[in-house]
A = this chain, B = another copy of it.
Amino acid sequence: MKKLLTISTQDYLKHIYELTEHNAPASTNTLAARLKVRPASVTGMIQKLANEKPALVEYQKHQGVTLTKEGRRAALEVIRHHRLLETWLVQTLGYSWDEVHEEAERLEHVISEDFEQRVAEALGHPLRDPHGELIPTANLEMPLEDATPLSTLRKNQRGTIVSVRDADADLLRYLERLGLIPNTHIEAIDYSPFDHNLTIKVGEQTRVLGLSVTNKILIKED
């Protein structure tokens, strides 16, 4: 007897999850920007979510918002849907890496538990989606991230790209052109401590990447 949440509520929870993932409560304004809604609307919605029983968010006026246990589970459910869907759309309908997001964004709210299970099964219970993001488990826990930002790689170290985080479609297309997609093997050939630029070798190519990019790419050293 799980409570049914509106699409809008699911979206709020998902975005709150993402904004609070690295500690720190989410502010009304950033949430409003993410949701493409006015700050006043966010305040209203948050107040409702905080007064549900059980409460989905923890909220003190002017102090930002965090998820409760219930809220977190609901958020992880949506995120699991999203990431499974992206994986599935890429694998079975030939969507490209950067096209799937929008489609999954709409589907994630309407698929059944049964559908979720069938897709997970069909995909062999994948750990990561096509961007390399971790997929929450069936019992709604987020696996630990065992990859590290590319920005921590230093001269002569090698690694394999695992994930590209928080990237918009433009950046994804850019990275795809550079061949910087999950499973690609790379080697750091230079690092500048001044501007934090990292020079890497990707296959035959040499690329120089700034911090804003190297921070978004996760790798596993090898």
Contacts and interface: CB of A to CB of B under 8 A. Distances in A.
Contacts of A146: none
A207 interface: no
Interface in A86-112: 92-95, 99, 102-103, 106-107, 109-112
A102 B113 CA distance: 12
Interface residues of A, number: 18
| Copies per assembly | 2
A40 interface: no
Interface string A107-125: 1011110110011001000
A46 to B, nearest CB: 25
A106 B112 CA distance: 9
Contact of A115 (B93, B118, B119): B93
Contact of A114 (B92, B103, B111, B122): B103
B106 A119 contact: no
Contacts of A99: 114
Nearest to A102: B112
B102 A118 contact: no
